[in-house]
Amino acid sequence: MLLSRIPSYFKARRDRLMKSHSGAVFIFPSNQELIRNSDVTFPFRQESNFYYLSGFDEPESVLVLAPNHSSPGAYRTILFVRRRDLTKEMWEGERYGVDGARQVFGADESYLIEDFQKVLPDLLDGAERVYYRIGQNKDSDHKIVTALDGYRASAGRTGRPLLAIFDPGEALAEMRLFKQPEEVDALRKAAKITALAHKTAMQEVRPGMNEFEIEALIDYVFRKNGCQRVGYGTIVAGGVNGTCLHYRFNNQPLKDGELLLVDAGGEYDYYSADITRTFPIGKAFTPAQAKVYDLVLRAEKEAIAMTKPGITLPEIHKHCAEVITDGLLSLGLLTGNRADLLANNGVSRFFPHRTSHFMGMDVHDVGLYVKNGEPRRLEPGMVFTIEPGFYVQPSDTAVPAEYQGIGIRIEDDVLVTAAGCENLTIDAPKERADIEALKR
């Protein structure tokens, strides 16, 4: 079923971008459909910047934002789209076509994609700069380089300046880093559905099930509640598999007495959640599991509590590393001098990754982590994860037996607010007592 008119915020985003880049031409090719074999394709998802600015989710399309020379300071939105084709649509589903591009997506002009190369020189005419990411789409790279070549060849006769190409990534990243209300709504929805999926997994897991059963259950909760797809490959890792940070096999039987680490996030209207929970496959945590679980949980909760405008992600990570170092020293899992361990990142033996990444349309979202050479200070509207962990690698046999093979990560998604932060994924249980109660 096709849409009749997309929300006005897509145009508001283009307005904001072009207000700060007047005179520029931006060119965004869509993602391409990837062939799996013969006429079977991998599931299609639109390129995030393209979707962020257009709301248009068909492949073989190009979005161009170009100056409107008849109205100084104004710009035009141009969409190149696939031709309507009743035979193709019978097989593959409806298309919007050039009329839909204008009527539904608010393009000022629209053309067939096959005319892109022919129309492009006109769109570049009179531009001051071109923003285009080279290397992402070889086919459009060739067309754009050819158009710029033609432009250069005629520069002497026309007196036009040569056009330089800039990467649009930073401008878009800066916009996407600060979530607008409609983006927070989508993230909230993704977070709520994802929290429900994790809670359901906690309730349903039993010794003897396979990891893939839990993956299927999580997928079902995502799709049943309106997520279109996963934001990244779901990790369902029983026991020692939880020590593999990006475990993907999800095909092993689940054993009583071991923990299950689930890292899964549903994508809702192009925004992804990213939650990890770790819980017993059987009824309760063992004493050793409980000790290290509580340590990771303490680090995670304190990190959330310290999140507010003005602090930095490295400060949050440093705090988590300190809490976990101190805890492991008192459990005897780390030995030696505290100051040396902190200075040499000794905790990385058990906590080898960073605590946070930005999130949004992409689970590892765009946004500069360093600005003017300094770690970026948090500001309201930023959304990121807090995800400390503790993992005993299978090769690490020096650790007491009761801790061997344990992998724990606890991950929530937070929105920075004026006063501090809001935990978007608070509905996913993480207190040991709450998890164990769910299983009774």
* 263 touches Mn ion (CB under 5 A): yes
Least Cβ distance, residue 426 to ligand GLY (angstroms): 18
DSSP-assigned beta bridge partners for residue 81 = 112
Known catalytic residue at 99: no
What would you measure as the largest C-alpha separation in the chain, in angstroms? Answer: 81
**For residues 189 and 198, what is the distance between their CA atoms, to the nearest angstrom?**
14
Least Cβ distance, residue 355 to Mn ion (angstroms): 10
Least Cβ distance, residue 275 to Mn ion (angstroms): 7
313-331 and 287-306 are packed helices; what angle lies between their axes, rounded to 10 degrees? 150
Q: Which is nearer to Mn ion, 17 or 428 (CB)?
A: 428
Closest residue to ligand GLY, Cβ-based? Answer: 263
* 267 touches ligand GLY (CB under 6 A): no
- The answer to whether the beta carbons of residues 394 and 302 sit under 8 Å apart is no
Q: Of 387, 388, 407, 435, which one interacts with ligand GLY (CB under 6 A)?
A: 387
Question: How many residues lie near ligand GLY (CB under 6 A)?
Answer: 7
Known catalytic residue at 317: no
Known catalytic residue at 263: yes
CA distances from 38 to 32, 34, 35, 41, 165 (A): 16, 11, 7, 8, 36
232 interacts with, out of ligand GLY, Mn ion, none, CB within 5 to 8 A per kind: ligand GLY
* 413 touches ligand GLY (CB under 6 A): no
Known catalytic residue at 69: no
Known catalytic residue at 139: no
Burial bucket for residue 193 (CB in 10 Å: 0-12, 13-18, 19+): buried
406 backbone dihedrals φ, ψ, rounded to 5°: -85, 135
* 263 touches ligand GLY (CB under 6 A): yes
Q: Which stretch binds Mn ion (CB under 5 A): 18-26, 101-109, 173-181, 269-277?
A: 269-277
Q: Which is nearer to ligand GLY, 58 or 387 (CB)?
A: 387
Least Cβ distance, residue 348 to Mn ion (angstroms): 18
* 412 touches ligand GLY (CB under 6 A): no
178 interacts with, out of Mn ion, ligand GLY, none, CB within 5 to 8 A per kind: none
Give all strands of the β-sheet with 235-238 in edge-to-edge order.
235-238, 259-264, 275-280
* 413 touches Mn ion (CB under 5 A): no
Known catalytic residue at 357: yes
Contacts of 70 (CB under 8 A, 6+ apart): none
Burial bucket for residue 38 (CB in 10 Å: 0-12, 13-18, 19+): exposed
* 274 touches ligand GLY (CB under 6 A): yes
CA distances from 259 to 224, 255, 256, 292 (A): 27, 8, 8, 12
CA distances from 37 to 82, 138, 355, 357 (A): 22, 20, 39, 35
Q: Which is nearer to ligand GLY, 47 or 274 (CB)?
A: 274
Amino acid at 81: V
Q: Of 9, 166, 212, 232, which one interacts with ligand GLY (CB under 6 A)?
A: 232
259 backbone dihedrals φ, ψ, rounded to 5°: -95, 155
* 30 touches Mn ion (CB under 5 A): no
Catalytic hit among 293, 357, 365, 413? 357
Q: Which is nearer to Mn ion, 55 or 231 (CB)?
A: 231
Known catalytic residue at 413: no
Interface ranges with ligand GLY (CB under 6 A): 232, 263, 274, 357, 363, 387, 411
Q: Which residues have a catalytic role annotated?
A: 39, 246, 263, 274, 353, 357, 364, 387, 391, 409, 411
